[in-house]
Amino acid sequence: MTDYPNTDVELALLRQDMDQVKEDMKGLRQDTKDLLDAWKTATNVLAFVKWTAGLGTAVAFLWAAFKAKLGG
């Protein structure tokens, strides 16, 4: 069996790399949460815009119908 004289050093370096990977994953997890929050906000804004467009269309229709009845 081959003896590896730097085994302890290699293990320490691997542990250090794993700690760095864990920190990177925490950052990515937070970025993903932020992206999901932005997506939900954009979805809600779009729903509000659609709702106001429908309301505006209804008001315009009622105004046109009222004006047509009074005009004529």
Residues 6+ apart with CB under 8 A from 61: none
DSSP letters spanning 2-43 = ---TTHHHHHHHHHHHHHHHHHHHHHHHHHHHHHHHHHHHHH
pTM: 0.58
Question: pLDDT digits over 16-51, tens only?
Answer: 999 999 999 999 999 999 999 999 999 999 999 999
Helix (H), strand (E), coil (C) string for 43-57: HHHHHHHHHHHHHHH
Residue 64 has pLDDT above 80, yes or no: yes
